[in-house]
Amino acid sequence: MSVNEKMTAIADAIREYGDIDGDMSLDEMATHIPAVYEHGYGDGQMEGISQGEKSGYATGYARGKQDENDRFWDDIQSYGNRTNYNDAFKGWGAASISPKYTITANQLYQFIHGCANLVTFDWSKVIPPANGYVSCYSMANGDSKLVSVDTDLIFSTQAGATAGQFMFANCKSLVRVQKIYSTAKVQYTNAFQNCESLVDIEFDGVIANDIDTHWSPLSKVSIESKVSHLSDDVSGKTATFNKAAVLAAFGTEEAWLAYVASKPNWNFVLI
């Protein structure tokens, strides 16, 4: 390319992207050539804005949302170092709670108490402590919409009398409790009060105090689980059941009487 051709090409670029038309002198080219850069810069800005408005929006939204969610849980859970979860989510208004970090507290005292809108909790984040819970007092008490508790509630030998009281009181939508591992001291006063949807619950360990599930239409498997873990070492304690559920499971009161013969030390009440 000759020098003249090169100069013409520069002039053409200035005419296309700059702010001058027609013939121009070398001095005019020097004056107006910055406008080529400015034009390119402007086009770049427009392209960036366009990307932000179109392809970039969804990505930006998702990242902003995730960052804010992370900051929230980092604060609530002390970057995963929190160990005391007493009252942790008490009264929250969310329909679902999905913590960022695992929860390894030694008690769940009023853990999700009074969460009126709560439907689901990410129980996969709740890891029972090695020695079991000291207390689950009033853990989910309240007229919530909670459907399922998908974690093992394993009581420690250190758990006191109140550890199981009011655990699920008024959880009218609760259908399933994965497992309660009971120890002898734990009392279940009002633990299942108004749990009118509870069907599936597994017991383990030893139930050594009165336990009333008469609100709940427990399945046969659940009824048998409860009966089979009633302590053989106490006398005169009372286990109360929903009469319709027992009759549905065992057919007749005679069959029920025969079934509970294995626990002669307990009173059995139907209502």
Which residues in this chain contact other proteins in the complex, by CB under 8 A?
A: 141, 166, 169-170, 190, 193-194, 210, 212, 214, 235-236, 238, 240, 243, 253, 256-257, 260-261, 264-271
Residue with tokens 């007229």: 143
221-233 burial: b if 16+ Cβ within 10 Å, else e: ebbebbbebbbee
Closest separation between CB of residue 240 and other proteins, Å? Answer: 6
Q: Would you say 196 or 202 has its CB closer to other proteins?
A: 196
Q: Would you say 179 or 214 has its CB closer to other proteins?
A: 214
Q: Would you say 122 or 210 has its CB closer to other proteins?
A: 210
What does DSSP assign to residue 160?
-
Q: Would you say 105 or 169 has its CB closer to other proteins?
A: 169
Question: In angstroms, rounded to a whole number, what is the distance separating the alpha carbons of residues 251 and 107?
Answer: 40
Which amino acid type is present at position 172?
K
119-141 burial: b if 16+ Cβ within 10 Å, else e: eebeeebbebeeebbbbbbbbbb
Question: In angstroms, rounded to a whole number, what is the distance separating the alpha carbons of residues 59 and 74?
Answer: 22
Q: Would you say 173 or 190 has its CB closer to other proteins?
A: 190
CB–CB of 216/242 below 8 Å? yes
Closest separation between CB of residue 174 and other proteins, Å? Answer: 15
Q: Would you say 121 or 168 has its CB closer to other proteins?
A: 168
Closest separation between CB of residue 112 and other proteins, Å? Answer: 16
What does DSSP assign to residue 139?
T
Closest separation between CB of residue 110 and other proteins, Å? Answer: 13
Q: Would you say 106 or 141 has its CB closer to other proteins?
A: 141
Residue with tokens 């970090």: 101
CB–CB of 93/117 below 8 Å? yes
Kindly state the helix (H) or strand (E) to which residue 238 belongs, with its residue range: strand 237-241
Closest separation between CB of residue 268 and other proteins, Å? Answer: 4
Closest separation between CB of residue 218 and other proteins, Å? Answer: 15
Angle (CA) 202 110 219, round 5° = 20
Closest separation between CB of residue 177 and other proteins, Å? Answer: 18
Per DSSP, what are the bridge partners of residue 72?
none
Q: Would you say 16 or 253 has its CB closer to other proteins?
A: 253
Question: In angstroms, rounded to a whole number, what is the distance separating the alpha carbons of residues 139 and 85?
Answer: 11
Question: In angstroms, rounded to a whole number, what is the distance separating the alpha carbons of residues 87 and 192?
Answer: 19
Closest separation between CB of residue 210 and other proteins, Å? Answer: 7
